[in-house]
């Protein structure tokens, strides 16, 4: 298959691994953060970490949409479905994210709330059209990749006069989160992890382009290599980062040039800018409150804003004490550092959000790396 098989070629992987091994300086470390959960999944699934020298360390970032959604925002959605009697529509992974009171949207559904899984915003619009006597809320989550379809749905609802449709907006912004990680790193506060560079997101970058990453090179002297999600993409990006670090360069390079340009998808950016404005601050799981890191509907579309329509309060909620998702999302810990990883917390019974989605670090480790971890601990 074109554009898949050739990016999974084992012989080529060995060649790139050999190049990485030859080019790394043995007397220094390379701490590289893959921002995106899709890359975390690829690294675990294809055993990429096993092909890297010991001094090249991949640090998992916060780029998993359901992982960074704090409990308080899931609680809001559950309140909408239970107390306000709305039909709550959202994507599958979001249904299983643990919330307060041992609830999730899935468990709320089991208790009678009208919660429905949809594949797209168009499905949610159809539910609204089919149920004119009911309020229908789409729980919108995700980074810049999933934002344009939400914007299209809001515009369509406005054009059709679909007054029983609204969205609970939790769309977040990748560059803002990267700024937050680097700003804290610069302060040297807490347990922050020093980074030597980023593997930049694939799908997000098809929308925003490579331009928004330029300040990370200019202001923080951190190289970014945007990479596709196939194993050879990731390995090639790691090699490109190693070369930049060796040369003390900080540039934005684009390994995923088959899909990403510097300017990105201008049409998608325009529709996002038309429908959404910036929130002054937004609470991220693990990263805390980050200024201008999330989107809300512009006043022209306020009638489709479920937070205003139902006067929802945003109540912050602490994570489960046993769960290390916060530290994992900051790159400070790994799934095996969590005492309940793979025992109490499994994909069938997730205690934290990182075990829910295949993009979550804990789910990726559980699916592809837990036996190795257990063997290492026993050794
Ligand atoms: S294993 Fe479960 S409880 Fe532990 S950090 Fe991961 S999601 Fe949280």
Please indicate whether residue 36, judged by its CB atom, sits closer than 6 Å to ligand 1: no
Q: Tell the residue nearest (CA) to atom 6 of ligand 1.
A: 362
| pLDDT given for residue 373 in this prediction | 52
Give CA 192 to chain center in angstroms.
19
Is residue 167 in contact with ligand 1, taking CB distance under 6 Å?
Answer: no
Is the C-beta atom of 362 inside 6 A of ligand 1? Answer: yes
| Helix and strand numbers, DSSP H then E, in the chain | 16, 13
Q: Ligand 1 centroid to 105 CA: how many Å?
A: 19
**Angle ∠(147,151,154) on CA atoms, nearest 5:** 140
Q: Is 67 in the pocket of ligand 1 (CB under 6 A)?
A: no
User: Atom 3 (ligand 1): residue with closest C-alpha?
Assistant: 323
Query: Does ligand 1 have an atom closer than 6 angstroms to the CB of 324?
Result: yes
Atom of ligand 1 nearest to the CA of 345: 2
Atom of ligand 1 nearest to the CA of 362: 6
Atom nearest to 325 CA in ligand 1: 5
Distance, in Å, from the CA atom of 181 to the CA atom of 230, rounded to the nearest integer, reads: 25
The answer to whether the CB of 323 is under 6 A from ligand 1 is yes
What proportion of the chain, given as a percentage, has pLDDT over 90? 86
The number of angstroms, rounded, from the C-alpha of 65 to the middle of its chain's C-alpha atoms is: 4
pLDDT of residue 379: 46
> Do 261 and 210 form a contact (C-beta atoms < 8 A)?
yes
User: Is the shortest distance between the CB of 105 and ligand 1 below 6 Å?
Assistant: no
Q: Is 13 exposed, middle or buried (0-12, 13-18, 19+ CB in 10 A)?
A: buried
Please give the pLDDT value at position 127. 98
> Is the shortest distance between the CB of 139 and ligand 1 below 6 Å?
no
**Is the CB of 328 inside a 6 Å radius of any atom of ligand 1?**
yes
- pLDDT per residue rounded down to tens, the chain (379 residues): 567 888 999 999 999 999 999 999 999 999 999 999 999 999 999 999 999 999 999 999 999 999 999 999 999 999 999 999 999 999 999 999 999 999 999 999 999 999 999 999 999 999 999 999 999 999 999 999 999 999 999 999 999 999 999 999 999 999 999 999 888 765 554 545 689 999 999 999 999 999 999 999 999 999 999 999 999 999 999 999 999 999 999 999 999 999 999 999 999 999 999 999 999 999 999 889 999 999 999 999 999 999 999 999 988 898 889 999 999 998 889 999 999 999 999 999 999 999 998 889 999 999 997 555 544 544 4
CA of 356 relative to ligand 1 center, distance in Å: 9
Gap between the Cα atoms of 297 and 291, Å rounded: 17
Is the CB of 297 inside a 6 Å radius of any atom of ligand 1?
A: no
Q: What is the whole-number distance in angstroms between the Cα of residue 343 and the centre of ligand 1?
A: 10
* pLDDT tens digits for range 151-184: 999 999 999 999 999 999 999 999 999 999 888 7
Atom index in ligand 1 nearest the CA of residue 322 equals: 3
Ligand 1 near 338 CB (within 6 A)? yes
Q: Say what the pLDDT of residue 341 is.
A: 95
Confidence (pTM) = 0.93
pLDDT digits (tens, 9 = 90+) for 193-252: 689 999 999 999 999 999 999 999 999 999 999 999 999 999 999 999 999 999 999 999
pLDDT score at 330: 87
CB 151 within 8 A of CB 274: yes
């Amino acid at each position: 298959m074109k554009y898949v098989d050739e990016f999974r070629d084992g012989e080529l992987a060995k060649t790139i691994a050999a190049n990485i091994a030859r080019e790394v300086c043995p007397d220094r470390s390379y701490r590289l953060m893959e921002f995106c959960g899709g890359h975390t999944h690829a690294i675990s699934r294809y055993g990429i970490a096993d092909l890297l020298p010991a001094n090249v360390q991949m640090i998992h970032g916060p780029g998993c949409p359901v992982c960074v959604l704090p409990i308080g925002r899931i609680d809001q959605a559950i309140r909408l479905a239970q107390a306000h009697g709305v039909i709550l529509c959202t994507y599958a992974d979001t249904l299983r994210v643990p919330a307060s009171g041992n609830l999730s949207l899935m468990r709320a559904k089991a208790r009678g709330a009208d919660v429905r899984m949809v594949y797209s915003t168009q499905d949610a619009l159809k539910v609204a059209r089919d149920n004119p006597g009911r309020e229908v809320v789409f729980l919108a989550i995700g980074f810049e990749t999933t934002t344009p379809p939400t914007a299209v749905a809001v515009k369509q609802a406005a054009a059709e006069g679909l007054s029983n449709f609204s969205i609970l907006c939790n769309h977040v912004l990748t560059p803002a989160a990267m700024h937050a990680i680097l700003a804290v790193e610069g302060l040297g506060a807490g347990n922050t992890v020093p980074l030597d560079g980023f593997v930049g997101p694939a799908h997000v970058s098809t929308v925003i382009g490579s331009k928004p990453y330029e300040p990370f090179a200019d202001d923080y002297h951190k190289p970014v290599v945007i990479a596709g999600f196939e194993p050879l993409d990731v390995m090639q990006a790691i090699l490109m980062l190693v070369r930049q670090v060796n040369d003390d360069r900080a540039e934005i390079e684009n390994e995923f040039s088959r899909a990403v340009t510097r300017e990105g998808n201008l049409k998608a950016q325009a529709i996002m800018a038309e429908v959404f404005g910036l929130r002054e601050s937004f609470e991220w799981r693990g990263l805390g409150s980050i200024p201008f890191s999330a989107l809300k509907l512009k006043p022209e579309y306020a009638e489709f804003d479920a937070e205003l329509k139902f006067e929802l309060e945003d109540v912050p909620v602490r994570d489960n004490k046993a769960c290390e998702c916060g530290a994992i999302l900051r790159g400070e810990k790994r799934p095996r550092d969590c005492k309940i990883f793979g025992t109490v917390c499994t994909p069938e019974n997730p205690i934290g959000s990182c075990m829910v989605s295949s993009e979550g670090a804990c789910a990726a480790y559980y699916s592809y790396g837990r036996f190795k971890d257990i063997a290492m601990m026993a050794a």
